[in-house]
Amino acid sequence: MTPAMLDVRNLTTELVGPDNSIRLIDDVNLRLDAGEIMGLVGESGSGKSLTGLSIMGLLDPPVRVADSQILFKGEDLRRMDDERLRRIRGDRIAMIFQDPMSTLNPVLRIDTQMIETIKAHEKISTAAARVRARDALGKVGIPSPDERLKAYPHQFSGGMRQRVAIAIALLMSPDLIIADEPTTALDVTIQAQILSVVQKLARENGTALIWITHDLSVVAGLADRLSVMYAGRIVESGRTDDVLRQPMHPYTRGLIASLPSRNRRGMLLNQIPGTTPPIADLPAGCAFRPRCPSATGMCLAHPQLETVAGRDVRCFHPSLEGIGA
């Protein structure tokens, strides 16, 4: 069996303080094969972005990965020396951020930045690198890429800038892309254009993709599998259609039920009571317990992620409604 493109085992990330440390991500497991798209969904503070940064090894003290195996094609990224990790990042694994201006240097032309990236990873002539940069711009749907190569980041609109950031991520044809809310700041019509580019990419090049978002509806049509995070833990994980049709975890159920739907126009939405607890002060046992309609005394214990009918759920009372026995 060939190893998975990415296999994250027991990822635990902590904020190390002088006296104690706070666990920000607790026991996250992710597995991704080539060409697969995984949606990593959660609300603010759920640890979804931090999971992406942990995988990339982009954390700075006092935040650190406490314990984990992060296997990329079977090789543990955390055991690699810095030089090799640097080569893999940007070459085999790329990341796209929400704000493209955090990727782009505002005082350099796009071509300078793109050619620089290619040359950092590969011995190649500038002319050949330029051709590849132009092709990458064309691939993400930037009109007249030859001219646009000479532009500065501020001369692009928000949607175009995000495309440039995606084009840079694509330059080395990475095997894995981690995209952190890349379309959140964009308009619907522009978001759809970018989703279509990304979807094509995964299908045609076999690129594996982790798409981090707070918006279920963005990944619903895009991802093969969904992992839902709450308070630093994955609470449910499974095939996208299964999770959306029959959510098992009360939090996932609550999230889906709270979305406005066409046939309940003007009626009160089903809301999840309360707010997300601060990560430094999680309730004992299941973190969702105080907001959960099905919580019992049992939930004072810490639930493990267990496989129920082909789905991973972290709950003592998963809903089996509509699940064939």
Partner 1 sequence: MNARLDVDHVSKLFTRKPGMIERAAEAMHVKKPSPVVHALDDVSLSVPEGSVLGIVGESGCGKSTLGRVMAGLLDPSMGTVRLRGKPVDALSTAERARERLRVQMIFQDPSSSLNPRQRLADIIGAAPLHHGMTDRRHLADYVTEQMTRAGLDPAMRDRFPHQLSGGQRQRVGIARALAVQPEVLICDESVAALDVSIQAQIINLFLGLRESLDLTYVFISHDLSVVEHISDRVAVMYLGRVVEEASVEDLFANAAHPYTQALLAERPSIAPGRRSYHTIKGEIPSPVAPPPGCHFHPRCPVAFDRCQVERPVLRSIGASHTSACHLNG
Sheet strands (E) in the chain: 6-16, 21-32, 37-41, 63-72, 75-76, 93-96, 176-180, 208-213, 225-230, 233-239, 306-308, 311-313
Closest to partner 1 by CB, 134 vs 291, is 291
Among positions 5, 11, 208, 216, the unique one binding partner 1 when judged by CB under 8 A: 216
- Is 240 a binder of partner 1 (CB under 8 A)? yes
Minimum distance, C-beta of residue 255 to partner 1, in the bound complex (Å): 6
> DSSP string spanning 98-127?
S-GGGTS-TTS-HHHHHHHHHHHHS---HH
- Is 304 a binder of partner 1 (CB under 8 A)? no
Contact range with partner 1 by CB under 8 A, out of 19-27, 83-91, 220-228, 296-304: 220-228
- Is 220 a binder of partner 1 (CB under 8 A)? yes
Contact range with partner 1 by CB under 8 A, out of 21-29, 51-59, 96-104, 151-159: 151-159
Minimum distance, C-beta of residue 52 to partner 1, in the bound complex (Å): 18
- Is 254 a binder of partner 1 (CB under 8 A)? yes
CA distances 259 to 113, 115, 221, 228, 263, Å, are 41, 44, 16, 16, 12
Among positions 70, 218, 292, 313, the unique one binding partner 1 when judged by CB under 8 A: 218
169 Cβ contact list (under 8 Å, min separation 6): 94, 95, 96, 177
Interface ranges with partner 1 (CB under 8 A): 43-44, 157-160, 187-193, 195-196, 199, 214-218, 220-222, 240-241, 244-245, 254-256, 258-262, 264-272, 275-276
